[in-house]
């Protein structure tokens, strides 16, 4: 047999993999009981909504995350903030003032406020009929709020995770497909400078055929337990006591999944195994920092301090996903992608290429990092970051990634472009949580991913390198 060139071999592998993946996807649909698409519904993988010249935006929840979304979106051209809803009147009023200030008195002049009770958001949707709803509430509310927003005619943009169970995720998928409305999980990390750089390098084949990734959310957040009656800790703390698995996988996983084109034509999620360590840290923190009769000391935090899951894809590639919001250690998302010609890694940003990184290293036995990466950035900087990076740094939000995400959401809606993160990616990334919980409960037993695309991922375009 004639030996294939590098490019020919890649095309051959992709074509052969697509056939195999289609067969596997078909088996997975049967084994995981994927429901048939509802009558009249349509696949949303590359969906382009009709252009909206002026995007009328509403916000549900303007606390820790929502307040930033509302203020920055109010500053983006082509938007009008029409409604703000929160359980707390002072938070709603704060966000109102921020948006009016951001609009410089010329836009956002008729913002409706809702804060009377826990169902005010439903009345807001019925009365205001916004084009886009941004949902930044406790996790258990994400799915029902997204579903109702789409039913009321709005595109839904949801903080992570998209839903807590696979049943919720299927309901979101069915509603989006039936209503023809976007439902995007707002994974901001995909818009980080390093993540965009690595995406561009992977697309250009710099590290060859992709084989393995590592993704994590290592972020010590025990201090949130001091938010007892209000704030993130007041509701999130209960999850740590009642659940055991990877409760927050998407910050690390989202970028790695897009490097690998998972659920986008080349490969997809197949199965997962998961293990958790013993749960110790939050019980100790509660004992040390709260009275014996405090409600946190009445909980038994059995969820493991660190969870490690391994994902296998339809092409046999692997992704390690870790989660730890308890242990005293520095922040990390790993952000590692390994290929046949080299490896890209984060925390700190570093690159190793077979034969060396030009102008920096002689071989792959030493990382190129720090100032040594100047030539790498000059050659492979993502064109989206080239266009928006300077403005994003000024606007802020996790180093600018939040602003780029918000800007792109509005830009795609106004121009009728597919979103950078589609409905199904949010579902797959979020599904790691319930699958990991089930695997942990079954002593690491493998769990099959539902195919939320019903086999159509194989025809979905890869995420474009937009400028």
Q: What is the pLDDT of residue 131?
A: 98
- Output 31 or 92, whichever has higher pLDDT: 92
Residue 427 has pLDDT above 60, yes or no: yes
Share above pLDDT 70 across residues of the chain, in percent, rounded to a whole number = 93
- pLDDT for residue 21: 45
pTM over 0.75: yes
pLDDT of 29 above 80: no
Residue 228's pLDDT is 98
Task: Give the chain's domains with CATH numbers.
Answer: 55-185 (3.40.50.720), 190-398+423-459 (3.30.360.10)
Residue 33 is predicted with a pLDDT of 65
pLDDT at 326 over 90: yes
Give the model's confidence band at 154: pLDDT under 50 very low, under 70 low, under 90 confident, else very high: very high
Average pLDDT over every residue of 208-231: 98
pLDDT tens-digit readout, 243-295? 999 999 999 999 999 999 999 999 999 999 999 999 999 999 999 999 999 99
pLDDT at 429 over 50: yes
pLDDT of residue 148: 98
Residues 6+ apart with CB under 8 A from 312: 270, 271, 272, 318
CA dist 170 and 281 (Å) reads 34
Q: Is the pLDDT of residue 343 over 50?
A: yes
Mean pLDDT of 227-231: 97
Q: How confident is the model at residue 336 (pLDDT cuts 50, 70, 90)?
A: very high
Mean pLDDT over residues 224-248, rounded?
98
Mean pLDDT, range 314-328, rounded to an integer: 98
Going by pLDDT thresholds of 50, 70 and 90, the confidence category of residue 99 is very high
Please report the pLDDT score of residue 32 as a whole number. Answer: 52
Instruction: In whole angstroms, give the CA distance from residue 319 to residue 118.
Output: 39
Q: Is the pLDDT of residue 74 over 90?
A: yes
**Confidence class for position 117, pLDDT limits 50, 70, 90:** confident
**What pLDDT is attached to residue 34?**
86
345-356 mean pLDDT: 98
pLDDT at 146 over 50: yes
Percent of the chain with pLDDT over 90: 90
Mean pLDDT for the chain overall: 93
Work out the average pLDDT over 393-418: 96
The per-residue pLDDT for 107 is 87
- The pLDDT assigned to 103 comes to 85
pLDDT at 198 over 60: yes
pLDDT score of 379: 97
Q: What was the pLDDT predicted at 363? A: 97
Q: What is the mean pLDDT of residues 428-455?
A: 98
> Could you read off the pLDDT of 8-17 as tens digits, one per residue?
444 444 444 4
């Amino acid at each position: 047999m004639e030996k294939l060139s590098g490019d020919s071999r890649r095309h051959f592998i992709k074509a052969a993999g697509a056939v195999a993946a289609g067969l596997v996807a078909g088996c997975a649909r049967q084994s995981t009981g994927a429901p048939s698409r509802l009558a009249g519904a349509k696949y949303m993988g590359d969906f382009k909504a009709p252009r909206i010249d002026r995007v009328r935006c509403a916000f549900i929840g303007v606390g820790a995350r929502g307040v930033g979304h509302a203020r920055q979106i109010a500053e983006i051209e082509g938007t009008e903030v029409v409604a703000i809803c929160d359980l707390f009147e002072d938070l709603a009023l704060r966000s109102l003032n921020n948006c009016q200030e951001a609009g410089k008195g010329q836009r956002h002049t008729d913002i409706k406020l809702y804060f009377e009770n826990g169902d005010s958001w439903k009345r807001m949707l019925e009365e205001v009929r916004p084009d886009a709803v941004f949902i930044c509430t406790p996790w258990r509310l994400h799915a029902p709020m997204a579903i109702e927003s789409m039913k009321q005619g709005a595109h839904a943009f949801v903080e992570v995770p998209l839903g807590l169970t696979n049943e919720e995720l299927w309901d979101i998928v069915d509603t989006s497909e039936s209503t023809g409305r976007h439902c995007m999980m707002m994974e901001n990390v995909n818009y980080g400078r390093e993540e965009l750089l690595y995406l561009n390098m992977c697309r250009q084949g710099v590290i060859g055929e992709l084989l393995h990734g590592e993704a994590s959310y290592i972020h010590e957040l025990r201090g949130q337990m001091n938010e007892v009656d209000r704030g993130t800790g007041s509701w999130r703390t209960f999850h740590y006591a009642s659940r055991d698995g990877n409760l927050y996988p998407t910050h690390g996983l989202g970028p790695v999944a897009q490097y690998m084109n998972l659920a986008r034509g080349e490969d997809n999620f197949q199965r997962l195994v998961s293990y958790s360590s013993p749960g110790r840290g939050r019980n100790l923190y509660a004992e040390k920092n709260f009275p014996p009769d405090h409600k946190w000391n009445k909980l038994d935090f059995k969820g493991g301090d660190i969870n490690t899951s391994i994902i296998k894809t339809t092409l046999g590639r692997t992704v390690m996903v870790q989660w730890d919001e308890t242990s005293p250690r520095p922040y990390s998302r790993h952000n590692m992608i390994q290929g046949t010609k080299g490896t890209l890694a984060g925390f700190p940003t570093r690159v190793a290429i077979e034969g060396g990184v030009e102008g920096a290293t002689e071989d792959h036995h030493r990382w190129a990092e720090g100032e040594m990466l100047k030539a790498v950035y000059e050659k492979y900087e993502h064109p989206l970051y080239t266009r928006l990076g300077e403005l994003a740094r000024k606007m802020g939000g996790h180093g600018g990634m939040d602003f780029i995400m918000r800007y792109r959401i509005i830009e795609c809606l106004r121009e009728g472009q597919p979103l950078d993160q589609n409905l199904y990616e949010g579902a797959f990334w979020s599904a790691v949580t319930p699958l990991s919980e089930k695997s942990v409960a079954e002593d690491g037993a493998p769990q099959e991913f539902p195919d939320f695309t019903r086999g159509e991922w194989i025809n979905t375009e890869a995420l474009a390198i937009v400028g």
